[in-house]
Amino acid sequence: MTRIVHVNDRMQRGYAYELIAPEGDEFDPRFTPDLTPAEMLALGVFGGVYLRDCADEFPAAWFAHAKLQQPGQYAQDPALNYFGVRASQPLSVWRQKGWIHPDDPRGWFQWYCRYWMGRRMPQEDERQIKRWVAMRRHVAQVAGACERGDASCHTKQRQALLHWAYDSRRL
C-alpha cells in the first residue's frame, strides 16, 4: 500500500513524495546502514540542528530521545554530537559541490530518512548509495589507526561516520 507524504517546512513548500516500500525494509543490497535515523538522532549528529522544523514528516519516535538544539538556536552545538566535535561542512559547501538533490535540500541524511520511510527514486538512490559506500574508506582508516574501542582516536572521522549511519563506536 502506498502513501503520499506532503512536505511544507522551512526548506520545502508544496513538495510531496510517495512511500512505496515498507519502512526500514527493501533496501538496495549494497546499502546496509548500521544505524537507523532514530538511533542517529539519539546518538547526536549534525550538532543537533537537523530536521527540527520538519519533524512532523517523520515518526515521532525518532525524536523521543534525539539530541537537538533548543528552538531558536540555529548554530550547530558540537557538544550534542556523540564524539563532541564538529564533523560536518556547512550546507553551502554541499550545494557548491553539487551534492544536494532538489528533492532533498537538507542533504544525505534527509535522503536517508525518506529512503528509510519507503520513498524510492532509483537514479537518486543509486547516487546516494554510491556516496554512502565511498565512506567505507573512513571505516578502514579509523580501524587501522586506532585501538579498538578508543573513542578519543580520530573523533572527527568517527563523528562523520555516524553522520553516514556507520556505527563508529564499534571500531
pLDDT in tens, 30-43: 999 999 999 999 99
In whole angstroms, what is the distance from residue 60 CA to residue 65 CA?
10
How much of the chain, in percent, has pLDDT values that exceed 70?
Answer: 99
Q: Which residue has the cell 560536518?
A: 88
Residue 17 has what DSSP assignment?
A: E
- Phi, psi (5° rounding) for residue 119? -75, 140
Q: Please state, in angstroms and rounded to a whole number, the distance separating the CA atoms of residues 72 and 68.
A: 11
Query: Would you state the pLDDT for residue 94?
Result: 85
Burial class (CB in 10 A: 0-12, 13-18, 19+), 6: exposed
Element (H, E) at 14: strand 13-19
Q: Domain map of the chain by residue range?
A: 3-170
> Which tens digit of pLDDT belongs to each residue from 146-164?
999 899 999 999 999 999 9
Rounded to two decimals, the pTM is 0.94
CA distance 161 to 109: 12
User: How confident is the model at residue 73, as a pLDDT?
Assistant: 77
